[in-house]
Structure 1
Amino acid sequence: MLYPHLDEETHVRSWLTIDDILPEQLDSWNHRFHTAALSEYGDNLIGFTSDPSFELLVQVARENLQDLSCYIPVPFFLILVDCSGVARHIQGPDNVLATLQGENIGIGTRFSMESFGINAISVAMETKMLVLLRGPEHTPKFFSQWTCICSPIQIDNEVWGYLDLSFSDKVVENFATALVSTITRNMAWSFKQKHPKIDKHTFLNKCDAYKLTNREKEVAFLWYYSMTRSQIAKTLHLSEDTVKTHIRNISCKANVRGRSCFREKFL
């Protein structure tokens, strides 16, 4: 049994805590962190390669979470990471974000077990479960004053990433875990509503019929999913003029006028 400390009360609740993890497993995680020879506060992957598919989820997160501050009366921060644990979106009050920046935590920070030790994100990545960690249970000293809850984001039974919500004060754990679960479910629902599913491999194969270049395929995939020229440019590290040129070439090769006509060819 992976979590032998689970008791009847744990079966009722829907999240893991550090008490549910085998001591041997905790030792193994700590060993992986200390032998990785990385900074205690994580490695920062400035200039990491952006995955166009995941960027669509980041866009949904920004839209769904922009008013979160209005509903949380205590200091907090939220981190969205991809499946490798790399932070792709961070938000919270300005003073909290400044504190994170002072700890070298930002977009590109990797929260994996090897890079950041035991934290809510890394434990959620290892277990694929909703996790709650209290301050002293974290490896990084910075988190000693924070309660952190992290959940996988599942879309069509596939994990796309992880969402962490951290509070500076003690929280009602039932409420906090329910809030994170609700946010991730809403993100998954919103993503599916805004972006009708199309398999990327199938999409790229269809692009071959129009003799699109590799770069045009990348632009076309994001364009299909309703990203603006500005958003595509930022995601692929291109200028807006270059994106505009690619879209013009895509439209010409596919013999379409506008995004809606282009999407019809792939439905």
Structure 2
Amino acid sequence: MSVFTEVNISQRTWIHYNDLTARAKSELQQLIDNYGGVNWATTLPSDSGVEGCISGIIKEYAKKEIQSVSTSIPFIHLFILTNTNGVVIHMEGAEPLLHALEQYKVVPGCSFDLHAAGINAISLAMHTGITSVVEGGNHSLEMFSDWTCICQPIRVNGEIIGYLDLSMKEGLEVSFACILLERLVNSLTRDPDEKKEILNKKFETYKLTSREKEVAYAWLHNQSALQISFNMGIAEGTVRNMLKKVYAKTHVGDKGQYFRKFLL
């Protein structure tokens, strides 16, 4: 007898397009029609001039955090980070996939808003305000007809400041992907002081000096060696030497995996 039984472990925190009532779906389609409709075979338009950029703090931290998670996912996938208007700020995925998407104009600056791309996980999350899932033929655009897309609003102090989408091949497990996305979004919105405290604890395990901690923290937050040298009042060469020392100290065993991704 199997010890795994069908039980309701926790309440679902996301909505699937198929969960919508017929009326809700009709209202969404009416909104699309009011915008002029979306052609099934169209490509995404550029909308890079639209305001609504994601918070500078989140944008600064998000790319490396998304990249770190992306390298650990064992199947082909795509992360899409957008601003509050559904305009793409950053995409993270395998290079062949990113190149393939260019022909459909799925690039930073394109829009996933309802009026531009019809029904998709990003536009549904924008409409509902909660984590949303759209699969296969439920998408308005043919290019996404074999995708499963999950999008979660990014909130800071209760206010939505952007959206993060995880897209993958249709048929893969949605529940686990939703949990992964939720954990990632939570890490993006963690208080900066709390992030620094967590990093400092990691630094302690590697026995970094106070100066090495300062350099490592700045480096992990996208500052160049030149920026760090200017801010700390030391030579750029000194910064680079410190980064080499940090890498050497963390390049030991499994613990070094965290910094290897950032310091190489």
TM-score, structure 1 normalization? 0.65
* Counterpart in the other structure of 2:29: 30
Q: Does 1:115 align with 2:103?
A: no
Aligned residues: 197
Matched residue, 2:55: 54
- The alignment partner of 2:115 has SS state of helix
Does the 8 A contact of 1:151 with 1:164 survive in 2?
Answer: yes
Structure 2 segments unaligned to the other structure (5+ residues)? 1-7, 197-220, 233-264
Give the CA deviation at 1:150: 0.5
TM-superposed CA distance for 1:48, in Å, is 5.1
Alignment of 1:75-114 (within 5 A): 75-114=76-115
Q: Is the 8 A contact 1:44 1:108 kept in 2?
A: yes
Confirm or deny: 8 A CA contact 2:132 2:150 kept in the other structure. Answer: yes
Q: Helix, strand or coil for the counterpart of 1:67?
A: helix
Q: Equivalents in 2 of 1:170, 1:29: separation in Å?
A: 25
Matches within 5 A, 1:204-219: none
- Determine the structure 2 residue equivalent to 1:66: 67
| Rounded Cα–Cα distance in structure 1 between residues aligned with 2:37 and 2:17 | 23
CA distance in structure 1 between the aligned counterparts of 2:193 and 2:127, rounded to whole angstroms: 26
> Counterpart amino acid of 2:167?
S
- Aligned-pair Cα RMSD in Å: 3.2
The answer (yes or no) to whether the contact 1:113–1:122 under 8 Å persists in 2 is yes
- Normalising by structure 2, report the TM-score: 0.65
Q: Which residue of 1 aligns with 2:127?
A: 126
* CA spacing shift, 1:227–1:91, aligned 2, 3 Å: closer
Residue 69 (structure 1) shift: 3.3
Partner residue, 2:136: 135
Q: Give the drift of 1:189.
A: 0.7
Q: Identity rate of aligned residues, in percent?
A: 26
Secondary structure in 1 matching 2:47: coil
CA contact (8 A) 1:60 1:191 kept: no
Q: CA deviation at 1:56?
A: 3.2
Q: CA deviation at 1:87?
A: 0.7
In structure 1, the gaps of 5 or more residues are 1-8, 196-225, 233-256, 260-267
Find the residue that maps to 2:81 and give its secondary structure. strand
Deviations 1:64-119 (A, max 9, x none): 12223322121111101111111111110011101211111111111111111010
Closer/same/farther in 2, CA of residues 68 and 189 from structure 1, 3 Å limit? same
Code of the aligned partner of 2:29: N
